[in-house]
Amino acid sequence: MANSSTSWQGRDAAPACVWVAARPDVWRDAIGHDTLDLSGAYRQIADTMLPVAVQVADPFQVVRLANQCVDDTRRRVQRDVPGHRGRRVDPLCRARKLLVMANSRLDDDARSHEQWLSHQMP
């Protein structure tokens, strides 16, 4: 399998498209999967230059996006329910790390706190 792993400066798809276009057709055709971060520029490169390659999201980026969504939801609920930004004593702020921690890393106390927290949400 061909290796298309190259780091590009910035988020402009044009230089990368030029680089991929300069590769032989055999090389491009040998690429079956393309691992992407979640930027639009990288997707554009894959869509344009490697249309038959299966696009796979980088797991780190997927987890980062999921954690960002959890954090955005926590902030929204924190603003809507008590009517102010989170404070150190607020349960949602205290539970922030718990909400984004991998379940496999939780001890029994953290799991019970997580279950209690899930029943407190409106």
Domain ranges of the chain: 13-57, 61-120
Query: What is the 3-class SS of the chain, one letter each residue?
Result: CCCCCCCCCCCCHHHHHHHHHCCCHHHHHCCCEEEECCCHHHHHHHHHHCCCCEEEECHHHHHHHHHHHHHHHHHHHHHHCCCCCCCCCCHHHHCHHHHHCCHHHCCHHHHHHHHHHHHHCC
Nearest partner of 53 among 36, 76, 74, judged by Cα: 36
Q: What pLDDT is attached to residue 90? A: 74
User: Using one digit for the tens of pLDDT, what is the confidence trace for 42-56?
Assistant: 889 899 999 999 999
Predicted structure pTM score? 0.53
What is the band of 25 on the pLDDT scale with cuts at 50, 70, 90?
A: very high
Q: What pLDDT is attached to residue 1? A: 45
- Residue 7 scores a pLDDT above 60: no
User: Using one digit for the tens of pLDDT, what is the confidence trace for 69-111?
Assistant: 888 887 888 788 777 777 777 777 767 777 667 677 778 887 7
Tokens standing for 6? Answer: 């190259």
